[in-house]
Amino acid sequence: MLDKCRREQWHIRDLDFSGTPRPMSRSDEIAIVQYFTDMAGIERLAGALFEQQRKNTSDVVLRDIFESFVRDEVRHAHAAQLLADYYDVHHYKTYQPNPALTRFTPHFVAAVKYLSPEIANTYITSGELILDVALLRSINDYVGDEMSERAMELINRDESRHIAVDFHMVEVYSSPEYQELKRRRPAQPLRVRARAAWAFLNVLYYGAPFFKGVFFEPMRTVDPSGRRIREAFKRIQILGVKGEVRKHPFSRFMLGLQDAYNEHALARLLFGRLIERILGVDAALIARLYSTDEARRAERQSFDEMAQEALAAKLA
Ligand SMILES: [Fe+2]
Ligand SMILES: [Fe+2]
């Protein structure tokens, strides 16, 4: 993987922005420039998360891999900003990143710093799946222009490596060796636990408007059938019920909320809004999106096979 990370590096100069965008309506131009403006912010956030993951690991190869991912994400942020400027033909307005994204960012970075690495990795993996399988692919289809196509191709090549490592980390954190290591580790000092709890509460609080503003609302325009977003959530759900992962306290907590919401009318009536807030999504995506057969299949697959399948879904 590290060799691949080095081999597949590219430079922003490899993209030629000298062309002219296809003609588009005023509302399309405004929407597209806004999506790319937000994408620049999301990519920067992803870079900050990988930087934190790099600090979290003592494995030298993994550290170098994460370091290359930080470089990738910064490059993606540059590419997204250049795309935003490229499609801003008429300067209809001044574009700013979605305020929900700006508010969420520092809390998410703090959460990755203070929460246990497996919880942080769950959020990162979910975020990258939604971003890759659903959002970027759908935005690119919606833009329907050669410039975006060329940039996304290079970005996607990087993201494929990220997803593979995200899944690998899920496997590492659910392994008996890691669980044993965790049991033997002395408890964190109260100060650190308090900061972790505070960061987590903030992620729950600011997470829902963030997901809504930069993922779900744009998706309603660029993928009105909801097919790709359901596909991404299905991948997240299947990963969460795979044998070893299912045993995590965090997975149990999230699955418990999902079950309460889907299967207990009273719980849904009383706590439905709260559960939606905690899970960060609405009813259509809390519903179970995979079949029993698909869950069984995932049980037999390796994490790498699951990652490859998620990536194939992106291209389907
Ligand atoms: Fe990226
Ligand atoms: Fe990424």
DSSP string, 42-89: HHHHHHHHHHHHHHH---HHHHHHHHHHHHHHHHHHHHHHHHHHHH--
User: Is pLDDT larger for residue 207 or for residue 78?
Assistant: 78
What pLDDT score does 271 carry?
A: 62
For residues 288-306, give the mean pLDDT. 85
Tell me the ligand closest to 125's alpha carbon: 2
- pTM of the predicted structure, to 2 decimals: 0.87
Q: How remote is the CA of residue 208 from the centroid of ligand 1, in Å?
A: 21
Taking ligand 1, which is a single-atom ion, which protein residues have CB atoms under 5 Å away?
43, 73, 76
Tell me the ligand closest to 76's alpha carbon: 1
Q: How remote is the CA of residue 190 from the centroid of ligand 1, in Å?
A: 35
Instruction: Map residue 95 onto helix, strand or coil.
Output: coil
Q: How remote is the CA of residue 94 from the centroid of ligand 1, in Å?
A: 24
Tell me the ligand closest to 160's alpha carbon: 2
Q: How remote is the CA of residue 156 from the centroid of ligand 2, in Å?
A: 9
Please give the single-letter amino acid code of residue 26.
R
User: Cα–chain-centroid distance for residue 202?
Assistant: 18
For the stretch 131-182, pLDDT in tens is 887 889 999 999 999 999 999 999 999 999 999 999 999 888 888 888 888 8
Other beta carbons within 10 angstroms of residue 152's beta carbon come to 20
Q: Topology of 2-12+20-177+185-315 in CATH? A: Ribonucleotide Reductase, subunit A (1.10.620)
Tell me the ligand closest to 49's alpha carbon: 2
Q: How remote is the CA of residue 213 from the centroid of ligand 2, in Å?
A: 19
Q: How remote is the CA of residue 43 from the centroid of ligand 1, in Å?
A: 5
Q: For the CA atoms of 205, 78, 165, 100, what is the dihedral angle to 10 degrees?
A: 10
For the stretch 229-238, pLDDT in tens is 888 888 888 8
Residue 314 has pLDDT above 80, yes or no: no
Q: How remote is the CA of residue 270 from the centroid of ligand 2, in Å?
A: 37
User: What are 155's two structure tokens?
Assistant: 């970005």
Q: How remote is the CA of residue 16 from the centroid of ligand 1, in Å?
A: 19
For the stretch 241-272, pLDDT in tens is 777 777 776 666 666 667 766 777 666 666 66
User: What are 97's two structure tokens?
Assistant: 């990143």
Q: How remote is the CA of residue 91 from the centroid of ligand 2, in Å?
A: 29
Q: How remote is the CA of residue 174 from the centroid of ligand 2, in Å?
A: 21
| b/e map 297-315, b = 16+ CB within 10 Å | ebeeeebeebbbebbebbe
